[in-house]
Chain A
Amino acid sequence: MDAMKIANSIPMWAACGIAVVLVLIQAVIFAKNSYKAGKKIGLTETQMKKAMKSSAITSIGPSIVILSGMLSLLITVGGPMAWMRLSLIGSVMFESIAAGIGTSSVGVQLGADTLTPLALDMAVWTMILGSIGWIIFSTFSASRMDKVQQKISGGDPAKLTAISGAAIVGVFCSMSASHLVKLNKNSVSCILGALIMAVLITVSEKKNIKWLKEWNLTISILAAMIITALI
């Protein structure tokens, strides 16, 4: 039987669908409980709605990136796996590497050779085994890491804020650095994204333009992408 027919078959859609639904259910349960808890600890509904709206707008750019990643995965391992892997645990950067490692273990070059059913099976297994490590470790260490962090901060809110605030800057410094050292169009796009964002933040703060504050990230990255692509 043709591997792509198997990959896009109804049983595969069903199995992958269950996983996608689980992610959605978790998100809804967490959001509901947090919304309730938010009201109890003194967050206003306006604040929480504002936060959700801001997150929705912020999601647009990254969603497009993930979508384009899925489209390339779609032709190599079929719709259901691509859809599931980018909704559950997976990330754009990692999934096609895992699929490639899987197929090459039985001598099939992903994207170049025709996919055999066995190669598809190997790709699926490698993507699964390659990704569950994240969830196993994170799920079972979350409480322990919380205790370590409480110990370091001594429960001092100022320290906790300093830790989180510095960590998020650290993450994006490292991510930006990875593109800056490439010295190619990615570096240009990274610098432009940063510059346009700096200008938009300054302008929207000074003139207090509300809609611009909400949209500045999306505008910055789309403008940086278009300008870089054109030069």
Chain B
Amino acid sequence: MSNNKNEYFEKEYMPKMHRIGKLTGLLGVVVSFGPALVLAVVYGLLPKPTALLTAFIAAASSFGLLWIVEPISYFPVLGPIGTYMAFLSGNISNMRLPCAGMAQTAAGVEPGSDEGSIISVLGMAVSVIINVSVLTVGVILGSSVLSMMPQGVKDALNLLLPALFGALLVQFGMKQKSLAVTLLIIGILIYVAINAGLFNWLPGASNYLPTLACVFIGIGISLKMLGKKKEGQ
């Protein structure tokens, strides 16, 4: 039975998802250019090539490394299918990952397992639909909402994201406290080092270095501890 299950997952589900994932990713790149095309065709607005090059270089040097580092850092959590989904919809650390993780907790499945990967896709799909719905209502109500919102409320909303990260750290770190504390200290030390200018030779290091380090040091420690546990048995 378990062999059949595995067979279906590996031979039917995964290849199909890979195909759809690649196709939708490619389509995502194409439709991204829609607004630029409209500006060019309907309004005759073409970008100035030299200015565009300047802008592209500026953008690429501030977050170009993220294009490569983020998919690598988030892959161990998202898995291949989750990667297609998360990167097409964006808002990964602040929405897709929390929803995938909380869904796995609610279903009682292990992250990294076949079951875990399916549950995280379901969780992310729900979060995509809610995200888009909220944004759609928001954009229709538009600036009228914005003008009604007192400055105090806007300032307060900026505090929601740090609270979310703190709470999620507890949610996922409680089961592996020593790992969480170690990685948090490493993360803080790297940020302190970046702020002190030790990583000035790495452009935009604060954007990716701490996450990359925390994720892969974490994986290293965790695999080592697992190896020790097995030896002990």
Q: Which A residues are in CB contact (< 8 Å) with B199?
A: none
Choice from B24, B62, B152, B195 contacting A97 with Cβ under 8 Å: B62
Q: Across the interface, do A170 and B29 meet the contact criterion of CB distance under 8 Å?
A: no
Bound state CA distance, A205 and B64, in angstroms?
43
Task: Check if A117 sits within 8 Å of B126, measured CB to CB.
Answer: no
Contacts of B205 in A (CB 8 A): none
- On chain A, the residues within 8 Å of B99 by CB distance are 55, 58-59, 62
Interface residues of A in 25-52 (CB under 8 A from B): 25-31, 33-35, 37-38, 40-43, 47-48, 50-52
- Whether the pair A101, B55 counts as a contact (CB closer than 8 A) is yes
With A and B bound together, what is the CA distance between A177 and B181 in angstroms?
11
In whole angstroms, how far apart are the Cα atoms of A187 and B14 in the complex? 41
B101-136 to A contact mask, C-beta < 8 Å, 1/0: 111111111111111101101111111111110111
Chain A binding surface, main DSSP class = helix
Interface residues of A in 178-217 (CB under 8 A from B): 178-181, 185-187, 189-198, 201, 213-214, 217
By a CB distance below 8 angstroms, the chain A residues around B81 are: 30, 34
**What A residues does B12 contact at CB under 8 A?**
37
Known contacts A1-B43, A18-B31, A174-B210, A161 near B85 by CB under 8 Å: no
State the majority secondary structure of interface residues on B. helix
Interface flags, A1-14, vs B, CB<8A=1, else 0 = 10000100101101
Residue among A15, A40, A168 with max Cβ neighbours from chain B (10 Å)? A168
Other-chain residue from B13, B32, B108 in contact with A37 (beta carbon distance below 8 A): B13
| CB pair B139 A74 closer than 8 Å | yes
Report the minimal beta-carbon distance from B156 to chain A, rounded to whole angstroms.
4
A62 touches B98 (CB 8 A): yes
Q: How far apart are the CA atoms of A91 and B92 in the complex, in Å? A: 8
Q: Which among B26, B104, B113, B122 is the interface contact of A31 at CB below 8 angstroms?
A: B122
A15 touching B89, Cβ below 8 Å: no
Chain A residue at smallest Cβ distance from B29: A132
Q: State A90–B63 Cα separation when bound (angstroms).
A: 12
Q: Are B71 and A137 in contact (CB under 8 A)?
A: yes
Number of chain B residues close to chain A: CB under 8 A: 165
A124 near B35 (CB under 8 angstroms)?
Answer: yes
| Neighbouring B residues of A125 by C-beta, 8 Å | 36, 47, 52, 55
A115 interfacial by beta-carbon distance below 8 Å? no
Chain B residues with CB below 8 A from A6, complex form: 39, 43, 45
Let me know if B102 and A169 touch, CB within 8 A. Answer: no
Residue of B29, B36, B164, B206 with most partner-chain A CB within 10 A: B164
Q: Report which of A41, A79, A126 forms a contact with B114, defined as CB distance below 8 A.
A: A41
A166–B32 touching, CB < 8 Å? no
Contact A61 B160 (CB under 8 A): yes
**Interface residue from B32, B146, B206 paired with A132 (Cβ < 8 Å):** B32
Q: Is the beta-carbon distance between A164 and B111 smaller than 8 angstroms?
A: yes
Contact assessment for A197 and B157 in the assembled complex, using a CB-CB cutoff below 8 Å? no
Q: Which of chain B's residues have a CB closer than 8 A to the CB of A165? A: 110-112, 172, 175-176, 222
Question: What are 25 A-B pairs with beta-carbon distances under 8 A?
Answer: A16-B35, A26-B88, A26-B128, A30-B124, A34-B121, A61-B164, A68-B158, A71-B146, A84-B35, A126-B56, A131-B32, A140-B25, A142-B84, A159-B223, A162-B225, A164-B110, A169-B169, A170-B214, A171-B97, A171-B214, A172-B172, A174-B214, A186-B159, A225-B157, A228-B163
